[in-house]
Each structure stands twice: as structure tokens, then as C-alpha cells.
Amino acid sequence: MLGSVGNSLLKNYPMAESSKSLLISSDEFEPAYMKLFRTGELYRRSRQALRHLENCKVCPRDCEVNRLENEQAVCKTGRQAIVGSYAPHFEEEDCLRGTNGSGTIFFSLCNLKCVFCQNYDISQGGEGIEVSPEDLAAMMLDLQQCGCHNINFVTPEHVVPQILESLPLAVQMGLRLPLVYNTGAYDSMDSMRLMDGIIDIYMPDFKYWDSGRSQKYLKAKDYPETARRVIREMHRQVGDLVLDENGLAKRGILLRHLVMPDNREDTENIMAYLAREISPDTYINIMGQYFPAGKVSEKKYGEINRRPTSSEIVTAKTIACQKGLHRFDKRSA
């Protein structure tokens, strides 16, 4: 099995008790895609998704290259998805990792170009191997066999068609785990529509509110408006995060926000938006894990060439509470 890649260094923070409406019995749960599989819609959706590769607008970059013929553009990914690693992952939120880990599949390359990416070798360097639909389905089954609580697609924005191509195969082979869509929130609405009724747990990271900072650090000026649009659609599809009696996530939206140096204004706007436009019951992980990585150095992007202070992290959490949010991830020991 391939090794996993480090992800969140999560911080403890009090979490409000879930209401009864945000709980579900594990015996009552069935992954969303099973209904579409039984009707044949899952297979039809997979064929529809592949057609999107012919004139690619799978993500908001709208490159319009023919990836079916292995043409490449911003994401540098052609016909086949590239996987950097897959393994049970124990550094995710408690409600995802449980006791046996979250079954992460890290896709290589990315449609965002975050200058500070902590997985830079994978997201922009392209480390990994090309996988067929059969390979990808086998990875899902391998992770299920390991006892993982879910299948966690990391950086899936540019490979939605390839994921959907492999999913009917995986279900035929016995896949029955919830699917997690772990994204930077730079997704197309076409992809969101394709995933409607298939994804159980959406996990977007809302990075920046300001378009200038988005252009500078993510190389995507339209990131804020795109993130707002797709997060609203994600919530429409799956609602607030629902946990089972063991505290494991089963369906809903889990939002991450990475605290960046000197970025209080963006945090205030993002938290206000979530509470006002999405739901005050949004389950959120305010992450204090940032450290300079990727292209960040004292000479280049020097203003973010430091970790956030403990005061900045506490302030971000305080802002979230003040805006009306109350469901926060709490990392157990």
C-alpha cells in the first residue's frame, strides 16, 4: 500500500452538542450513490461525466482542451487520473478518522496553484502514478477492506469524470462506504451537478474572501465567488453534517478554514457568510496548522513566511462564535 501524506494538525476547541436532527443511526444509513446505482443513473452519470473531458470545463479554469486525447492545460492531467498515495489516514477530523482511519486517495496535481501548499510535490510537482478506472475502484475496495470508515477523495476537482467512471465498478465489487469530497472549493457547477446524489460528505476549504489575495496566493482571482457558489450548492445537496451514534460523519458538509497570517478580515467575512448564507449549524474546523511551504520564503511572499500566532488562531475561533457558528471540530488525544 502506498504511504499517506500529512494533512491537518488539528486544534482542540469546544464543540456544541449536536441536536437530535443531526444524528443518525449507523444501521439506518446507506451511501447516497446506492440509490442511483440501483436505478442505473450512476452509470449514466459516469458516461455523461466522461463527455465533459472532450472540451474540458471540469473546473472553473475552462481550459477547453480534449483530455480524452490526453491534451493538458492548467491541471496537467489528461485522460487518466494520477494518484499520489492512498492509505488509511489518521490526521483527519475525529468524525472522519474514527478508530480505523479515513480512506484517503490523494490525487496528484491541482487546479489551484497555492503558493503555500504543504503537499507541493504532489499538488504541483505531479508525483504519483496514472491509474485506470479499475485501479481506482480497487483502491477504494482495498481501503474498505482495511476497515476505513469512508472513502476520502483529496483534491478531486479536476478528476470528477475519472472518479465517476470508476465508481460503478467499485459498487459492483462491493463498495458500501460514505464518499468524502475533500476540496479547495474551486469546483465547477457542472461537477457539482454530476456529484449530486453521489457524494455523502462535502469537505471544502474556504481559503480566501478577497479576490486580490486569491489571485496572489492561489492564482485564481475568481476563487471567492466560486467558493461561495459551490459551498452553497454543496449544502443544498447534503445539508448540515450528520453523525452516527459513534460520532462518525455520515452525510453533510464539513468546512475547513486555514488561519493565515494577518488575515483577520477574510476570516470575518467567511464566518459571517457561513452563518448567514449557509447555516449556523455548519460544522467547521478552524485550522491553525499553516506553516511556510511551497514557494514561500523570506524573499518571496515574505508576509506569509511565518506561522499564525496563537492569538490569531484564538481570534479566528472567537470571530466564528460571534458570527453565530457553534459546531466546531474537537480533536481528541
Dihedral through CA 145, CA 147, CA 150, CA 155, nearest 10? -70
Task: Output the pLDDT for position 332.
Answer: 64
Task: Output the pLDDT for position 27.
Answer: 85
Q: Give the Cα separation of 96 and 115 in Å (integer).
A: 27
Q: Which residue has the cell 494577518?
A: 262
Q: Give the Cα separation of 110 and 59 in Å (integer).
A: 10
At 287-306, the pLDDT tens digits run: 999 999 999 999 999 999 99
Q: Give the Cα separation of 16 and 177 in Å (integer).
A: 27
Q: Which residue has the cell 515574505?
A: 302
Cell (9 digits) for 243: 453523525
Q: What is the number of other CB atoms lying within 10 angstroms of the CB of residue 44?
A: 12
Task: Output the pLDDT for position 5.
Answer: 31
Q: Give the Cα separation of 193 and 207 in Å (integer).
A: 23
Residues of the chain predicted below pLDDT 70: 1-21, 332-333
Task: Output the pLDDT for position 24.
Answer: 85
Q: Which CATH class is domain 20-328?
A: alpha beta
Q: Give the Cα separation of 267 and 278 in Å (integer).
A: 15
What residue spans define the domains of the chain? 20-328
Q: What is the number of other CB atoms lying within 10 angstroms of the CB of residue 269?
A: 17
Q: Give the Cα separation of 60 and 21 in Å (integer).
A: 35
CB 18 within 8 A of CB 247: no
Residue closest to 310 by CA, chosen among 275, 286, 333:
286
Task: Output the pLDDT for position 3.
Answer: 37
Task: Output the pLDDT for position 248.
Answer: 97
Give, for 202, the enclosing helix (H) or strand (E).
strand 201-204
Q: Per DSSP, what are the bridge partners of residue 106?
A: 85, 154
